[in-house]
Amino acid sequence: MNQVLSKPPSMQADLAACRRDFPALSLQINGSPLVFLDSAASSQQPNSVIDAVANYHRNSHANVHRGVHTLSHRATEAYEGARDVIAAFIGAGNRSEVIFTSGTTESINLVAQSFCRPMLARGDTILLTHLEHHSNIVPWQLLCDQTGAKLLVTPIDETGSLDLAIFDKQIAGGVSMLAMAHVSNALGTVLPLEHMISRAHEHGVPVLVDGAQAVPHMDVDVKSLDCDFYAFSGHKMFGPTGIGILYGRSEHLERMPPYKGGGDMILEVRFDGTTYNELPYKFEAGTPNISGAVGLGAAINYMKSIGMDRIAAHEADLLTYMTQRLSEIPGIRLIGTAKTKASVQSFLLDDIHPHDLGTILDHQGVAIRTGHHCAMPVMEFFGVPGTARASLALYNNRDDIDRLVSSLTKAKEIFG
Amino acid sequence: MYKMSTDELRELYRELILDHARSPRHFGKLPEVTHSADGLNPLCGDKLKLYLRIGDDDRIQDAAFEGSGCAISVASASLLTDTIIGMRPTEAQSFAGALIHRLTGKQTNVELGKLRALEGVREFPSRIKCATLAWHAMNSAIRQDKVPASTE
C-alpha cells in the first residue's frame, strides 16, 4: 500500500499488523486490491477463526452433551469452552446466562416470544427507537399481532440522535418493554444506554439491547450496562455466520418458558409431560451450531489479544478521518452526524443513486453497502430510498479511506 | 497506481443510459390508464409503477412510469416507454422476452435497436435485475397480475 509520509502519526500503525491476519484482505477484486468497508453487514475472519473451525471439524467433531465417547467429550468441551469465553468477554455474571442462538435476529425473537408474550395484554406498549434494524422491529410487530399490544417509537433528529426528552416522557407513560440498538447500523449513532436503561428501570421496564453493531467495536459489559437482555451476532465480530448470543439475566431466563422444543432442552420426556433442562440448555433445542460457537470463541480471543480499547481508539481515529475526507468531496451529503458515533458513515453523492455508486466502487475493488440497510424507517425519516454506507472494522486503515474517496471521485466523473 | 479499467463502467453507463436516467421520458402518471403494475427490486429498493393505455385497436396507445431507482432501472423504464408505444401487447411481451433473454447472456435474433445500450449490464450480474425490472412490470401489467412484479 502507498503510505504517504506526511500523514499525521495515528493509531493505524498500531494495528497495521492485524490486517495480515485476514486472508480475504489480500484478495484482488476487479483488478484492484480489496478495500473492505462493509463490516457492518458482515466482517471478514482472521486465520485464527478459520483455523479453529477447521481444526474442530478435523479433530473434535461429534454431537455435544450426548455421547460417552472421546469425540463427543471434545466437542462438548469446545462448545462449552466457547460459552465461558463469551460470558467473560461480555461480563455476564454466570455462564448459564449466555445462550447460543443463530444470531441477533433469533435472540430478539426469543425474548419477544418467551419473555414478553406471556406478560403482554391487549393495549400494552412496547417502546422502540426510530433507529432500529428490521430485526428489532418485525419480531415486536409479530408480537403485537399475537397479543394486541402496540408499538411506540422514540423519534430521532436530523443528526440521527434520539430525542431524549420525548423518550423520558414515553418511558414514564406505562411501557411494558424497551427494545433498542446499542449502535445504529445505518447511521452509527451510539445510543445513550446508561441514561435510557436507568430511566427504564426506574419505571420497572425491562430492556433488551441489540448489540450487533457494538460488540465488534467497543468494550461491552452487560452487568455495568444493567440491561435485562443483550443480543449479538458472531459474523459481525470476525466469527462465523449462523451463531449468535442472547445474554439474559438469570432471574428472567429461569421464569421464561422454552422458545423451541426438541432434544437437548429436556431432562425427561414422557407423553404425559416433559421436564425441561436447566439454563442455558432450556433454550438450546436440537443439535447446536457447535463449530460456529467454536469460531465465535476464537474470534473473541482474537479481539482480546488486540484489546477492545485499542480497537475502539483505532476506529475512532479512522472514523474521524473518513468523515473529514468524505465531507471534502463536493456534492456529498453525510447522513448520520450524531455527536457519539461508531464505525459507520452513510452518505449520498450528488444525485447518483447509491446502487450506482456501489457498482462503480466495486469495479475499483471498494466494497461498501448500498440500499436501505434493513432500516427502512431511518431512510424514510431522511427522505431517501437508501444510502451508501462505509463501515469500519479493526483491520481498516487510512489507505482504505483514501481509496474510497478516489473511487467516489471516479463516480462523479462517470456521472459528469 | 492500481489497474482500473473503466471500459466496462463506460459500457454500463453509456451516454444514452445516463441521458435517460437524468431526463426520463414519459415520467409521471397517465390519464385514462387501462393497465398498470408495480415493480419492486427489494435488493436495492428500486420501486416503480408502470402505466399503460391499451386501446380498442389492441395497441399500446401510451405508456408512462413513476418511481425511484438507480440509473439503470430508470433508464430502462424510460427506454421501455419509448419503445412499446404503438406496439400490440403481444409484440411488447415478445420484445420484453427477447430483451430479458439477451441481458441474461443468451442469444436472440430480435433487433433490439437502442435497447442494446442496456447490454453493458451483462458484465455486472448484480445489476441485471435493475435493467429488467420495468420489463417484468410491463408483462405483469399486460397480464393484469394481482401482485407486484418483483425481481426476487
Where exactly are the structural domains of chain B?
7-150
Give pLDDT, residue A263: 86
- What integer best gives the mean pLDDT of chain A? 95
In SS3 terms, chain B reads as: CCCCCCHHHHHHCCHHHHHHHHCCCCECCCCCCCEEEEEEECCCCEEEEEEEEECCCCCEEEEEEEEECCHHHHHHHHHHHHHHCCCCHHHHHHHHHHHHHHHCCCCCCCCCHHHHHHHHHHHCHHHHHHHHHHHHHHHHHHHCCCCCEECC
Query: Which residue pairs from A170-173 have beta carbons closer than 8 angstroms and sit at least 24 positions apart in sequence?
Result: A170/A127, A171/A127, A171/A196, A171/A199, A171/A200, A171/A203, A171/A205, A172/A199, A172/A203, A173/A125
Residue A3, chain B, CB below 8 Å: the answer is no
Integer Cα distance of B38 and A15 in angstroms: 49
- The residues pairing with A125 across neighbouring beta strands, listed in sequence order, are A150
Integer Cα distance of B60 and B112 in angstroms: 18
Give chain A's radius of gyration (CA, Å). 22
Integer Cα distance of A21 and A326 in angstroms: 28
Using DSSP, state whether A29 is helix, strand or coil: strand
The cell for B124 is 455486472
Higher pLDDT, A74 or B5: A74
The predicted model gives A365-373 an average pLDDT of 94
Residue A369, chain B, CB below 8 Å: the answer is no
Q: Is A227 one of the annotated active-site residues of the chain?
A: no
CA distances from A16 to A10, A28, A83, A306 (A): 11, 19, 30, 11
Give pLDDT, residue A259: 92
**Nearest Cβ partner for B9 among A352, A355, A363:** A363
Higher pLDDT, A250 or A1: A250
Identify whether the C-beta of residue A323 lies closer than 8 Å to the C-beta of residue A342.
no
Angle, CA A387 vertex, CA A382 and CA A393 arms, to 5°? 120
Give pLDDT, residue A141: 98
Name the residue among B72, B60, B91, B88 with its Cα closest to residue B22. Answer: B72
Identify whether the C-beta of residue B60 lies closer than 8 Å to the C-beta of residue B87.
yes
> Grid coordinates 403482554 are at which residue?
A120
Contact B70 A410 (CB under 8 A): no
The predicted model gives B36-45 an average pLDDT of 84
Integer Cα distance of B36 and B51 in angstroms: 4
Query: Binning pLDDT at 50, 70 and 90, where does residue A145 land?
Result: very high
Tens-digit pLDDT profile for residues B95-141: 999 999 999 988 888 888 999 999 999 989 889 999 999 999 999 99
What is the ipTM for the molecules in this complex? Answer: 0.87
Name the catalytic one among A18, A116, A227, A374.
Answer: A374
A359 chain-B contacts, CB cut-off 8 A: 9, 12, 124, 126-127
> Grid coordinates 406471556 are at which residue?
A118
Give pLDDT, residue A8: 46
Residue A265 pLDDT greater than 90, yes or no? no
Residue A314 pLDDT greater than 90, yes or no? yes
Give pLDDT, residue B5: 59
- DSSP string of A315-349, one letter each residue: HHHHHHHHHHHHHTSTTEEEE---SSB-SEEEEEE
CA distances from A146 to A110, A117, A150, A260, B30 (A): 15, 8, 11, 17, 42
A354 chain-B contacts, CB cut-off 8 A: 44, 70
A4 chain-B contacts, CB cut-off 8 A: none
B126 chain-A contacts, CB cut-off 8 A: 359
Tens-digit pLDDT profile for residues B54-99: 999 999 999 999 998 999 999 999 999 999 999 999 999 999 999 9
Tens-digit pLDDT profile for residues A33-54: 999 999 999 999 999 999 999 9
Give pLDDT, residue B151: 67
**Nearest Cβ partner for A353 among B3, B43, B71:** B71
Using DSSP, state whether A308 is helix, strand or coil: helix
Identify whether the C-beta of residue B61 lies closer than 8 Å to the C-beta of residue B54.
yes
Name the residue among A345, A340, A342 with its Cα closest to residue A312. Answer: A342
> Grid coordinates 448470543 are at which residue?
A245
Give pLDDT, residue A409: 96
The predicted model gives A191-196 an average pLDDT of 98
Amino acid letter for position A172: A
- What integer best gives the mean pLDDT of chain B? 90
The cell for B145 is 397480475
- The residues pairing with A129 across neighbouring beta strands, listed in sequence order, are A154
Give pLDDT, residue A173: 97
**Nearest Cβ partner for B127 among A2, A359, A415:** A359
Using DSSP, state whether A154 is helix, strand or coil: strand
Top-tier CATH class for B7-150: alpha beta
Using DSSP, state whether A153 is helix, strand or coil: strand
Residue A363, chain B, CB below 8 Å: the answer is yes
The domains found in chain A, sorted by start residue, are: 12-44+307-415 (3.90.1150.10), 50-305 (3.40.640.10)
Give the up-direction half-sphere exposure of residue B53: CA atoms within 13 A in the CB hemisphere: 10
Tens-digit pLDDT profile for residues A129-139: 999 999 999 99
Crossing angle (nearest 10°) for helices A398-415 and A354-363: 120
Q: Which residue of B has its CA nearest to A351?
A: B22
Give pLDDT, residue B150: 72
Integer Cα distance of A345 and A336 in angstroms: 7
Query: How many residues comprise chain B?
Result: 152
State the virtual CA torsion across A67, A259, A373, A24 in degrees, nearest 10: -10
% of chain A with per-residue pLDDT over 90: 90
